Chains A and B, each alone.
Chain A
Amino acid sequence: MKIKVFISVFVLITGLASGVYFFRPHVFHGTVIQSPEQAFDFTLTDVNGDVSLSDYRGKLVLIYFGYTFCPDICPATLANVAQALRTMDTKADDVQLIMISLDPERDTPKKLAEYVAHFHPSFIGITGSKEQLDETASLYGIFYEKTEGAVNTGYMIDHTATLLVIDREGYLKLVFPFGVTAAEIADDLKYMLRQ
């Protein structure tokens, strides 16, 4: 009798521990947004023409606001995303990174295309008029402004450095802070792709 009670208790505790482990909520490395509305559907321009967020329904879309003259945080973030995608093998086909340049004066669509291709062949670089960028950046919580730079670099653009993830249905799902690692990005993206 005692041994049967012991087995029952053992199964209960082991199962409980396993259940807690396997059914625990995924702890995202970014901040989860539970927006009831789809993210703003911008239309901006890449080297091949107009690009809208809604063109990528069915994929996870990572949106990053930056510019090609950006000295440090933009290349660091793009390199991390590229590395994350490389670790995801074929699952990376369901992820699209879009870099939105906040510097349309210097970042032509052609220059943007060359820039983002250095990081990953699937990356897209888009930009637009100041009015379009003001609207898009504001609605994605991205503050930006021109500041003076060194003589040899010209002006700089200070900007919010978050990396945004739009889910397959077009809802803003996740906001990564600057400094998130490639492994953390890959971990969250893989989880989202399993949903």
Chain B
Amino acid sequence: MKNYLLNGIYGLLGFIVISAFAFKIFQPIQVLPRMQLSPAFNLIDQNNERLTSEDLRGQFVIFNFTYTNCPAPCYNMNATIQEVQSRLDEIELGDIKVSFVTISFDPDRDTAPVLQTYVDSINADTERWSFATTPNKDLLKTIIGSGFETYYEDKGDGTFAFDPTFVLVDGWGIVRAEYRYSTEVSLADRILRHLGVLADEVRNSTGSAKLAYEAAHLFLCYAP
């Protein structure tokens, strides 16, 4: 009798340990980390209208940071965004809107009319892609530098040194992924995969399934 009780307990402990390892190794559910809060902002877009962080609540947003005088191809950032936009139908987003916001760190030159001219020159889809900045340079540094943790520096000769970065923010204003420039892996592929993972979580993480998703966060089951 005692042996059977012990066997039951050992079996139970073994099952729990194996289950935990299996969850970690096979990762039946993958998620994106909730890395930090996205900074709040109040910018002016290419239409000379304000664009705030609150306006983007409820949407997935891909941010990037550049300036319109960046010599082409400027790390192919626009091409990456346009590729992601053209392939959005490859993932199941449901009702979730995906927006793109390019923030200029050169507000002296990138006024609203200049941004509009730039939008026209690259044939940007302004239904889902905004270009914006703010003349308050200190705040801009706070938003891009401290908030989005992206380096940029005015070289004083009309050019900027900067880290070409994309940041994915979810509908709650939480940073879920950062993409530093890479020539080896298609950023568009990775961004699209992550948008799909995020959409799955929004769609499925309800009721008892929420526990499984929280376990995936707990076990760091992050999508590559």
Contact = CB atoms under 8 A, between A and B. Distances in A.
Interface stretch (B122-130, B140-148, B186-194): B140-148
B217 A31 contact: no
Contact of A19 (B4, B16, B146): B16
B5 interface: yes
Contact of B40 (A4, A28, A131, A160): A160
Given A31-B34, A31-B172, A143-B40, A7 B214 contact: no
Contacts of B139: 134-135, 138
A78 interface: no
A7 B5 contact: yes
Interface string A28-65: 10011111110010000000000000000000000000
A172 B40 contact: no
Interface string B169-181: 0001110000000
Contacts of A40: 146
A23 interface: yes
A145 interface: yes
A192 interface: no
Could you tell me the dominant secondary structure of chain B's interface residues? Answer: helix
B52 A33 contact: no
Interface string A130-161: 01001101111111110000000000000010
B37 A172 contact: yes
Contacts of A12: 8, 11-12, 15
B41 A138 contact: yes
A25 B218 contact: yes
Contact of A35 (B9, B35, B54, B172): B35
Contacts of B4: 4-5, 7-8, 11
A179 interface: no
A120 B174 CA distance: 30
Contacts of A4: 1, 4
A16 interface: yes
A183 B158 CA distance: 56
Contacts of B135: none
Contact of B35 (A15, A31, A36, A142): A36
Contacts of B174: 31, 33, 175
Interface residues of B, number: 39
Given A4-B1, A25-B215, A40-B146, A35 B41 contact: no
A31 B54 CA distance: 17
Contacts of B215: 25
A194 interface: no
Nearest to B218: A25
Contacts of A31: 34, 172, 174
B8 to A, nearest CB: 3
Contact of A32 (B8, B42, B146, B217): B217
Nearest to A7: B4
Interface of A: 4-5, 7-12, 15-16, 19, 23-25, 27-28, 31-37, 40, 131, 134-135, 137-145, 160, 172, 175
Given A11-B8, A34-B35, A175-B174, 12 more contacts: A4-B4, A11-B5, A12-B8, A12-B15, A16-B16, A24-B211, A25-B215, A33-B37, A131-B138, A139-B142, A140-B40, A145-B52
25 contacts: A4-B1, A7-B4, A7-B8, A12-B11, A15-B12, A16-B12, A16-B15, A19-B12, A25-B215, A27-B211, A27-B214, A33-B174, A35-B36, A36-B35, A40-B146, A134-B139, A134-B142, A135-B142, A138-B41, A138-B142, A139-B147, A140-B40, A143-B40, A143-B41, A143-B52
Interface of B: 1, 4-5, 7-9, 11-12, 15-16, 33-42, 52-54, 136, 138-139, 142-143, 146-147, 172-174, 210-211, 214-215, 217-218
